[in-house]
Chain A
Amino acid sequence: MSKILSLADLKKKRDELKSGLDIRIKALNPENSVQVKVAMATCGIASGAKTVMEFFLEQLDRRNIAAVVTQTGCMGYCYAEPTIEVKLPGQDPVVYGFVDLKRADQIIEKYIKTGEFVDGIIPVNYETVDLNNKEE
Chain B
Amino acid sequence: MEIYWILGIPLAGGIFLALWGNRGHAPEINALFSLATLLAAAALAARIVAGGPLLVGQGWFFIDSFNVFLVALTALVAFTTALFSRPYMRIEKEHGKLTDARLRLYHSSYQVFIGMMLLALTTNNMGILWVSMEGATLATVLLVSLYRTPASLEAAWKYFILCGVGIALALFGTILLYFAAEKVLGSGGTALLWTQLNGVKAQLEPTVLQLAFVFLLVGYGTKVGLVPLHSWLPDAHAEGPTPVSAVLSGLLLNVALCAVMRSKVLVDGALGTDMAGNLMMGFGLLSVVVAAFLIKRQTDVKRMFAYSSIEHMGLITFAFGMGGAVASFAGLLHMTMHSLTKSAIFFAVGHATQKAGTQMMDDIRGLIQTNPTLGWGLMLGTIAILGVPPFGVFASEFLIITTAMHAHPWATPFLLIALGVAFASIFGKVQPMVFGETRLPRLPYQPALAPVFLHLGLVLMLGLYIPPYLAAWFRQAAHLLGG
A binds B: no
